[in-house]
Structure 1
Amino acid sequence: MATVYLPSSLRRYVDQRSTIAVPGETVSAVLTNLAATAQGLHCHLFAADKLRSFVFVSKNGQDIRLLNGLETPVESGDQIRILSSIAGG
C-alpha cells in the first residue's frame, strides 16, 4: 500500500486524517481507491476521469507529470502527495 498525504482542504473527506494507506498498482488506481472510500472526494480530484488541472500529485517527491502521469507505477511504501491549488481574488 502507498501512503497518501492529503492537504488540509481535502481532509474533511477522510475524517481529518493527513495521511491514509491506500492500495493500488498505479497512481490512478491509488487515487481512484481513495476516492471510492471517501464520499465526495472524487469530484475534487477528477473531471471526466482525468486529474483536474489544478491538482498536483507527486510520487516520492517527483511530479507524476514528469514520470508516467496517472499510469506511474506504485509500490508498497511509496508516498503519494496531493496538493490542490487555492485561487481567489
Structure 2
Amino acid sequence: MIKVRLAGVLRALALGRDYVEVNGAGTVRDVVLGLGSINEKLLRRVYDPLRNELMPDIYIAVNDIDIRLLKGLDTPVEDGDEVLILAYIHGG
C-alpha cells in the first residue's frame, strides 16, 4: 500500500482523513488515479483527465522530494513510500 498524506482543503474531500492508502506500486500517476476510489471529487480536484496532468495548484512529493525534481507523474513509487499531496493557497 502507498500511504498518501493529504493537506489542507484536500482533507475535506477525503472525509477529513489526513492519510489514505492506495493499492499497489507503480507511478505517482497510478496513485493519483487511485484517489478516485476514495472520492471522485478528490480525484477531479487533483487531476485533469482531459489534459492528462495535475491541476495547476497541486504539489506532490514522494518521500519528501518534489516530483518535479524526479520524473513528474511518472515517478515510480513502491509499497511503503509516502506521497504528500497538497493544494497551493494563493494570496491576493
Does the pair score TM above 0.5? yes
Kindly indicate whether residue 76 of structure 2 is the aligned counterpart of residue 73 of structure 1: yes
Structure with the higher strand share, 1 or 2: 2
The TM-score, its normalising length taken from structure 1, stands at 0.89
2:37 aligned with 1:44: no
Q: Which shifted more, 41-50 or 68-77?
A: 41-50
Unaligned stretches of 5+ in structure 1?
none
Q: Does 1:15 align with 2:15?
A: yes
Q: Deviations over 1:5-32 (max 9, x none)?
A: 0013111222210001112411000110
Structure 2: runs of 5+ lacking an equivalent: none
- Are the counterparts in 1 of residues 10 and 86 from structure 2 also a CA contact under 8 Å? no
Deviations 1:23-75 (Å, cap 9, x if unpaired)? Answer: 24110001101133312112211223211221110000101111111011110
Question: SS at 1:5's partner residue?
Answer: strand
Q: What value does the CA root-mean-square deviation take over the aligned residues?
A: 1.3
Q: Does 1:35 align with 2:13?
A: no
Letter in 2 for 1:19: Y
The answer to which of 8-17 and 62-71 deviates more is: 8-17
Q: Which whole-Å CA distance do the structure 1 matches of 2:84 and 2:3 have between them?
A: 8
Cα distance in 2 for partners of 1:39, 1:67 equals 27
Structure 1, 31-40 or 73-82: larger mean CA deviation: 31-40
